[in-house]
Structure 1
Amino acid sequence: MIVKIGVLTEQQKCQWKNDGYLILKGVLSEEEIEKLTTVVNQMDEEHRKQPSSNGSQNESDVKPYAGLNKLNIIGNSDIFIELIDHPATFPIVLELLGPFIQLSMSQAMIRPPNPKNKGFAHALHPDGGQAMQRIRVDNDSLPLQIKIQYFLTPLATPENGNFTVVPGSHHRPFPAAQLGNAESPHNTEAVQLCVEAGDAAVFPHALWHGAASNRSSYARKTLIYCYNHHCFRAYDYKEPSPELLERCTPRQRRLLGDIGEWQPGSYFYSPADQEEVMTDPTEDKT
């Protein structure tokens, strides 16, 4: 089967252009949610077993209400590899970014409630460093990068640690004075997205986004996959291990930077078969 480009509806295209984000409903099955949540919970348990800085093996510096923010997770489980080119979301990645792309980042996040403060609100921000935060592309241009955030827990009402965006903000500069302002996700422009487990949000680097306070009784659990062009460096890995590549399909390997022997300009000019590999979801791992 060949992936068909052009999966977005006219309404979705309009929302992407004007608001700067999309909500995809029910992209993960109940079985996928259960398996992914199990692995994320195991990662969180390991995180909380870290020994105390005072050397005690019976104590940990990780507080009960501390969150998890783990990068480069794809090697932890094959189910994370499967998300690299998930059939419900990857066609949208191709439509928005084109075929000359790579996976730049994979991340697991847990934001638990914290009765001792306002809930660890994550200040609004665009993505990227000092340069990217000052770059905005017009509506006729490809995005520099996009992220897909998969929700493993339901966020049916506000103040559950909801992913928060400012619609249309990808068209204007982010005010530097607002960087680090933990109250910004609760300003009048910000919208807390209410979603179900299995939904996903898609957004470009320039959209102002953050997380609202979590005042619920349970932790918010999400996964984030970031894609950008071959001419960028990957965010959370230098190069994939041979063992990881052996577990991947040809398309997944290509998305992890397996583009052949390095030569000058190789990250600007993709291999000749790049478009074919990106649109062919073969499971042949040989």
Structure 2
Amino acid sequence: MLEPVVKPGEFTELDRFMFESWGYFVIPNVLSPEEVAACLEASQRLHADQPKKVSHQVGEGYASEPALERLIDHPAAMPKVRGLYGSDNIILQSAWCTVQPAGGKHGGWHQDGSSAFDFKLLGHPIPLLQLRVSYLLTDQSEPGKGNMEMIPGSHRSRVPMPDSVRKGTEDCPLRHVVCAPAGSALVFHNAVWHRSHEHNHDYDRYTMHYIYSPPWLRYSDRFENDTELMNRTTPLRRGILGDFAKPDSTYAGGYRTPPYEE
């Protein structure tokens, strides 16, 4: 099976062509084994008090876990985010730590967006409003490990997914099970149809998702930024978290771009 694999760091024209064609790409091995271990331990702490037998997600884990905070502006992925948006004026709209329990079944097919206002109502093709960077914290190098399943190019489709596929009564021959080792990152468009693959092993699968959006989109993992985090973190991360310098109006008179080059 073809894999849309790109190199870490610098955003290239080939990266853009692959993303526009498939709606996603994979950056292999962007986290060291030590970073994977630290992020996995942090994720397990976040889920320590959560149900153990169902898939679950916890938001804003970067506010309490330094290992997850460091992924906000990871140098392997952030140039891709800026390049795909064609702008430096972006924020971390949300971040979710997800777990799929051992022996978990596959999830349901869906596109990302907001149940409050379906993104497809904005036009066709559905615009890029939530660019997701998903860091794999357990091995997904072969199918059956809670991998992400994607429908390549579906972010451009003019017709909806058939109910027979979406509801699971019929399989989709176009599905692509994304296989990559722990420490890799999957970057994808909000309009790509996707779901979690089955997990046939005896350990829980963890993934850390970071969702980047235009600055005017409302946060979805928090009502406001954590004060302690904002006081201790870097100027760049404060900017990406949406720390606006104008207290009277967020956008009137201009917008202060996060200091990427400092």
TM-score, structure 2 normalization: 0.86
Q: Which residue of 2 aligns with 1:181?
A: 167
Moved more, 251-260 or 64-73: 64-73
The equivalences for 1:98-109 within 5 A come to 98-109=87-98
In structure 2, the CA distance between the partners of 1:254 and 1:113, relative to structure 1 (3 Å rule), is same
Task: Say whether the 8 Å CA contact 2:99–2:205 is kept in structure 1.
Answer: yes
Distance in 2 between residues matched to 1:38 and 1:135, nearest whole Å: 39
Q: Which residue of 2 aligns with 1:40?
A: 43
Q: What is the DSSP-based 3-state SS (H/G/I as helix, E as strand, rest coil) of the residue aligned with 1:201?
A: strand
In structure 2, the CA distance between the partners of 1:84 and 1:270, relative to structure 1 (3 Å rule), is farther
Task: Say whether the 8 Å CA contact 2:139–2:182 is kept in structure 1.
Answer: yes
Out of 129, 132, 151, the residue aligned to residue 119 of structure 2 is: 132
Distance in 2 between residues matched to 1:269 and 1:13, nearest whole Å: 32
Paired residue type of 1:66: V
Aligned residue pairs: how many? 250
Task: Say whether the 8 Å CA contact 2:133–2:185 is kept in structure 1.
Answer: yes
Q: Which residue of 1 aligns with 2:5?
A: none
The equivalences for 1:81-92 within 5 A come to 81-92=69-80
What CA deviation, in whole Å up to 9, does each residue of 1:63-109 have, x standing for no partner?
x4333311121212112211110111111111112111110011111
Q: Which residue of 2 aligns with 1:166?
A: 151
Distance in 2 between residues matched to 1:222 and 1:124, nearest whole Å: 18
Q: Which residue of 2 aligns with 1:57?
A: none
Distance in 2 between residues matched to 1:222 and 1:269, nearest whole Å: 39
TM-score, structure 1 normalization: 0.79
Q: Which residue of 2 aligns with 1:79?
A: 67
In structure 2, the CA distance between the partners of 1:188 and 1:142, relative to structure 1 (3 Å rule), is closer
Task: Say whether the 8 Å CA contact 1:72–1:107 is kept in structure 2.
Answer: yes
Structure 1: 5+ residue stretches without partners:
1-5, 48-61
Q: Which residue of 1 aligns with 2:4?
A: none
Q: What is the DSSP-based 3-state SS (H/G/I as helix, E as strand, rest coil) of the residue aligned with 1:153?
A: coil
Paired residue type of 2:12: T
Q: Which residue of 1 aligns with 2:210?
A: 225
Paired residue type of 1:95: G
Shift of 1:230: 1.0
Q: Which residue of 2 aligns with 1:15?
A: 18
Paired residue type of 2:53: Y
Paired residue type of 2:24: Y
Distance in 2 between residues matched to 1:268 and 1:228, nearest whole Å: 19
Paired residue type of 1:257: G
In structure 2, the CA distance between the partners of 1:183 and 1:27, relative to structure 1 (3 Å rule), is farther
Whether 1:263 aligns to 2:248 is yes
Q: What is the DSSP-based 3-state SS (H/G/I as helix, E as strand, rest coil) of the residue aligned with 1:84?
A: coil
Task: Say whether the 8 Å CA contact 2:147–2:178 is kept in structure 1.
Answer: yes
Q: What is the DSSP-based 3-state SS (H/G/I as helix, E as strand, rest coil) of the residue aligned with 2:109?
A: strand
Q: What is the DSSP-based 3-state SS (H/G/I as helix, E as strand, rest coil) of the residue aligned with 1:85?
A: coil
Whether 1:279 aligns to 2:241 is no
Q: Which residue of 1 aligns with 2:101?
A: 112
In structure 2, the CA distance between the partners of 1:217 and 1:258, relative to structure 1 (3 Å rule), is same
Rg larger in structure: 1
Q: What is the DSSP-based 3-state SS (H/G/I as helix, E as strand, rest coil) of the residue aligned with 1:149?
A: strand
Paired residue type of 2:56: L
Q: Which residue of 1 aligns with 2:229?
A: 244
